[in-house]
Chain A
Amino acid sequence: MAVKSKAKRELDFSGGWGYAPSPESTDHIRLEKKYGHFINGEFVAPAGGKYYTAYSPSTEKALAEVALGDERDVDRAVRAARGAYNKVWKKMPAAERGKYLFRIARMIQERARELAVIESMDGGKPIRESRDIDVPLAAAHFFYYAGWADKLDYAFPNRNPEPLGVAGQIIPWNFPLLMAAWKIAPALACGNTVVLKPAESTPLTALKLAEIIRDSGLPPGVVNIVTGFGNTGAAIVNHKDVNKIAFTGSTDVGKIIQKATAGTGKKLTLELGGKAANIVFEDAPLDQAVEGIINGIFFNQGHVCCAGSRLFVQEGVADKLIKKLKDRIETLIVGDPLDKNTDIGAINSKEQLEKINYYIKVGKEEGAEMWQSSCAIPSKGYYCKPTLFLNASQSHRIVQEEIFGPVLTVQTFRTIEEVIEKANNIPFGLSAGVWTDKGSRIFNMTGKLRAGVIWANTYNKFDPTSPFGGYKESGFGREGGIHGLGAYLKID
């Protein structure tokens, strides 16, 4: 066999045997033409009579009309939640509360396929992810917190745990159904009632969850879902009869909410942005580290608060690792979210794509070396190629600011002290990843990295038992585990 010269040693991932399109069927789903708010156990028209269009970011086609909520709708929902709390939910034996949560979990599993397809249509994420990760985890959260409902005295012994009352919850567009589960399940398990607003670009799976909640027989008013834009969320935050606010979203809006709730006596938890460091040491198993890097930044198109968006690689293995990374990126398929072979789906909205493209422009202007996959992207819909910025510097804006897309900055480092300092030198503190074969180094790093969630030799692993949340401008409070209960209780 001929020996290829160094210049010609390339691998060809584009030619030869290809994968035919393998689209998931949409025949079985049911979407109404128009959705009202879900208040007091039924769908009701918005007070202002106005609706907006939910559309698919992959086809740019309209999917449904969704109610536009205003202060009157929010007020109606809060009064329903308060009524249900005072008359029914507060008085219900805890084990009975748990039974409703178990039932909702089971119904999510039964309708899993429909939920996964709608999630991909509405939000753009690949069906492989919504089917294998989002929907199963959503059910898992309900199952997990169902079990805690009647064991709160065990979770907080001698501390007299009591529910707070009515919880106002505002969730983002990156994991629409899963974020609804993360919010609703613990709130209900602890005996609270809920008014929840899904993100404006992804209301549909929350509304399908509302159908499940209605069909589960959950007493009317325990969960209320109001759709709308930022002002709808503001109405929830500012409502006088809400006892607790839980928000997941951008740091900027988190700050607005914190200012708005200061001095009101409302309890608050915030889960905000991130710019996680994914750190590869020279002794790390490199091919496996590459897999973790890919998962860290391209999972869900990079629309992940805990995404590993800053790669730090020890200089001695940088060239080797980057070559492997590029090879791996070349095998990623960007395309129709409903195709089972799609690795990276559509960007969630036109606005988000513009934001990402803006940062790509900034990165180029700042002098970082841009590299993109040679993959094709569909001509319709909002798509972004997986992008690397090599030779990035700590002071580049693309390194300091959250891009929230499939864009990875790459920096080299020499010593462990250097990388700890650079990893922490950011306003955020949500997550981090460490790749090394040396166990002692993992323990050393996890103590010194200022991040709420640290993964060692893996990335983006979630479980309802495991608390999730950040430091600094990534927010405060934890969701998941026993920690997640504390946010929804008054404890002595």
Chain B
Amino acid sequence: MSRIDFSQTPQIDQVSVEERVARLNSRSIKKASKVEGLKLALNMIDLTTLEGKDTAGKVKQMCYKAMHPHDELPGLPTTAAVCVYPTFVGLAKKALGNSGVKVASVATAFPSGQSTREIKIKDTKFAVAEGADEVDMVISRGEFLAGNYNYVFDEIAQVKEACGVARLKVILETGELSTLDNVRRASEIAMRAGADFIKTSTGKIQPAATQPVTLVMLEAIRDYYYETGVMIGMKPAGGISTAKGALNYLVMVKETLGNAWMTNQWFRFGASSLTNDILMQLAKEASGLYQSGDYFSKD
């Protein structure tokens, strides 16, 4: 089997990317458009808890929030999914019942990825066996930066195999990749190796998701779609905490990939505090009054 030469991926001009982002951010989203966008964004959230101090109680309460973001406001969707460590998948699955909220599990020695292939595959299989609908894996950044692109490719392909029917999100950890050229390159490797989603970050280091990085990944997805006809999803994670910010991301998706990607089948936000900012904005649009954080549950 001939190997793909990943050293020849497209060059990216950072200055222009930042300008395009600024232009996209100048879109004015008001009134009905704003309400519709915010509800869409809410439905795209992967409500996340990935802390050393997580417990069953924490995860259960978060699952309730995912299904009932704010019952006082009628007509709200659930979030798309919850995202937890593998040991909480079973519990989350039970708590969510048939609400339609998916369970995503991190795997492959998240967040560092510094472990053996064997351990990472086992980690994945465990999460899947527990009932995870989706697996969020991390790539081996060290191997990538050392130029061992085929190693990275093979690892993703093997994890994809271990996922079975679960959808695979591949975390590139763009904050460690340094350049937009590298972000593009890592995206190419992930898509071709079998990713269903490409995701920016673990959320454990700075910088997490940024708009320029997201735009580059969306453009990679578009080129791949034209080349192969295959749709790939995208998830920016970490650092998106405002409703306005979320709308900016939606504008980027809409104007880069178009309508087909504007569902939680193909776009997710990896976030936790974003939820309440969206809820406050929706409540303000409905009532005309500014809201306080005290009126919205934090779990």
Interfacial residues, chain A to chain B (CB-CB below 8 A): 1, 3-6, 8-9, 11-20, 22, 128, 132, 283-289, 291-292, 323, 327, 331, 340-341, 437, 457-458
Contact = CB atoms under 8 A, between A and B. Distances in A.
Interface string B13-55: 1011101100100111111111011001000000000000000
Interface string B196-239: 10000000000000000000000100100110111100000000
Contacts of B16: 285, 288-289, 291-292, 457-458
Contact of B28 (A18, A19, A132, A289): A19
A457 B229 contact: no
> Is chain A's binding surface mostly helix, strand, loop or mixed?
loop
Nearest to B260: A12
A287 B250 CA distance: 19
A97 to B, nearest CB: 36
B2 interface: no
Contacts of A8: 229
20 contacts: A1-B196, A12-B260, A13-B254, A13-B255, A16-B259, A17-B259, A18-B33, A20-B30, A20-B31, A22-B29, A132-B26, A283-B11, A285-B12, A287-B219, A327-B222, A340-B26, A437-B13, A457-B13, A457-B16, A458-B15
For chain B, which range describes its interface: under 10, 10 to 19, 20 to 34, or 35 or more residues?
35 or more
A9 B33 contact: no
B257 interface: yes
B142 interface: no
Nearest to A457: B13
Contacts of A9: 225-226, 229
Given A17-B250, A20-B33, A457-B13, 12 more contacts: A4-B225, A9-B226, A16-B254, A17-B262, A20-B29, A288-B12, A288-B17, A288-B20, A323-B226, A327-B222, A340-B26, A457-B15
Contacts of B29: 19-20, 22
A11 B11 contact: no
B164 to A, nearest CB: 16
Residue with the greatest number of chain B CB neighbours at <10 A, chosen from A20, A285, A341: A285
Nearest to A8: B229
B291 to A, nearest CB: 22
B281 to A, nearest CB: 15
Contacts of B36: 17
Nearest to B34: A20
A413 to B, nearest CB: 20
A199 B225 CA distance: 49
Contacts of B12: 285, 287-288
A47 B219 CA distance: 61
A284 B11 CA distance: 7
Given A1-B231, A17-B262, A22 B30 contact: yes
B147 interface: no
A3 B228 contact: yes
Contacts of B17: 288
B97 interface: no
A17 B11 contact: no
Contacts of A132: 26
Contacts of B33: 17-20
A17 B254 contact: yes
Nearest to A330: B258
A291 B260 contact: no
B10 interface: yes
B207 to A, nearest CB: 21
